A and B are shown apart, each in its own frame.
Chain A
Amino acid sequence: MQTNELAASLTSRFDSRILGVDGFPGLLGRVRFEPAIALDLFRTFRDDLGFSHLTMVGGIDWVDHREVFYALWSDADRVYVMLSANLPAEAPSIASAVPIWPSANAHERETWDLVGIRFEGHPDLRRIFMPEGYAYHPLLRSFKIFEPEDLEVKVRSE
Chain B
Amino acid sequence: MSAQTPVPAKPATLPTLESPQSDQSLPVVNQPGVPFVEIEALRAREFIPAAKEALSSLLKEQAEGKLIRPVFNWAGRNSLFPLHWGLACCAIEFAAAFGARWDAERFGVVPRSSPRQCDLLIVNGTVTWKVAHKLITLYEQMPEPKWAIAMGNCATGGGPFRTAYSVVPGVDKLIPVDVYIAGCPPRPESMLDGIIRLERLIKERGE
Question: Which residue numbers of A lie inside 8 Å of B, CB to CB?
Answer: 129-131, 134, 136, 138, 143, 145-148, 151, 153, 155, 157-158
Shortest distance from the beta carbon of A30 to any chain B beta carbon, whole Å: 29
Would you call B10 an interface residue if the criterion is a C-beta within 8 Å of the partner chain's C-beta atoms?
no
Q: A147-B163, A148-B163 are in contact. Are A153 and B170 (CB under 8 A)?
A: no
Please state if B133 and A143 are interface contacts (CB–CB under 8 Å).
no
Q: A146-B163, A147-B163, A148-B162 are in contact. Are A134 and B129 (CB under 8 A)?
A: yes
> What would 15 A/B residue contacts be, using CB atoms closer than 8 Å?
A129-B130, A130-B165, A131-B132, A131-B133, A134-B129, A138-B166, A145-B163, A147-B163, A148-B157, A148-B169, A151-B169, A151-B173, A155-B132, A157-B133, A158-B133
Q: What is the size category of the interface that chain B forms with chain A? A: 10 to 19
Would you call B158 an interface residue if the criterion is a C-beta within 8 Å of the partner chain's C-beta atoms?
yes
Please state if B166 and A129 are interface contacts (CB–CB under 8 Å).
yes
Give Cα distance in the complex from A129 to B132, angstroms.
Answer: 12
Q: Residue B129 contacts which of A131, A157, A158 (CB distance < 8 angstroms)?
A: A131
B189-207: CB near A (< 8 Å → 1, else 0) gives 0000000000000000000
Greatest chain A CB density within 10 A among B132, B165, B173 is at B165
Give Cα distance in the complex from A122 to B190, angstroms.
Answer: 48
B127-143: CB near A (< 8 Å → 1, else 0) gives 00110110000000000
Q: A148-B158, A148-B169, A151-B169 are in contact. Are A130 and B163 (CB under 8 A)?
A: no
Shortest distance from the beta carbon of B162 to any chain A beta carbon, whole Å: 6
Residue ID in chain B nearest A149 by CB atoms? B169
Give Cα distance in the complex from A2 to B170, angstroms.
Answer: 54
Shortest distance from the beta carbon of B169 to any chain A beta carbon, whole Å: 3
Give Cα distance in the complex from A128 to B57, angstroms.
Answer: 62
- Chain B residues in 8 Å Cβ range of A143: 165
Residue ID in chain A nearest B174 by CB atoms? A155
Q: Which of B103-138 contact A (CB under 8 A)?
A: 129-130, 132-133
Q: Residue A130 contacts which of B158, B166, B170, B173 (CB distance < 8 angstroms)?
A: B166
Please state if B129 and A145 are interface contacts (CB–CB under 8 Å).
no
- Chain A residues in 8 Å Cβ range of B132: 131, 155
Q: Other CB < 8 Å A-B pairs besides A130-B165, A155-B133, 8 of them?
A: A130-B129, A131-B133, A145-B163, A148-B163, A151-B169, A153-B165, A155-B132, A158-B133
Shortest distance from the beta carbon of A85 to any chain B beta carbon, whole Å: 26
B150-167: CB near A (< 8 Å → 1, else 0) gives 000000011000110110
Give Cα distance in the complex from A148 to B129, angstroms.
Answer: 13
Give Cα distance in the complex from A155 to B168, angstroms.
Answer: 10
Give Cα distance in the complex from A129 to B144, angstroms.
Answer: 32
Shortest distance from the beta carbon of A127 to any chain B beta carbon, whole Å: 9
Greatest chain A CB density within 10 A among B133, B157, B162 is at B133
- Chain A residues in 8 Å Cβ range of B158: 148
Please state if A130 and B130 are interface contacts (CB–CB under 8 Å).
yes
Shortest distance from the beta carbon of B86 to any chain A beta carbon, whole Å: 19
Residue ID in chain A nearest B170 by CB atoms? A148
- Chain A residues in 8 Å Cβ range of B157: 148
- Chain B residues in 8 Å Cβ range of A158: 133
Residue ID in chain A nearest B132 by CB atoms? A155
- Chain B residues in 8 Å Cβ range of A147: 163
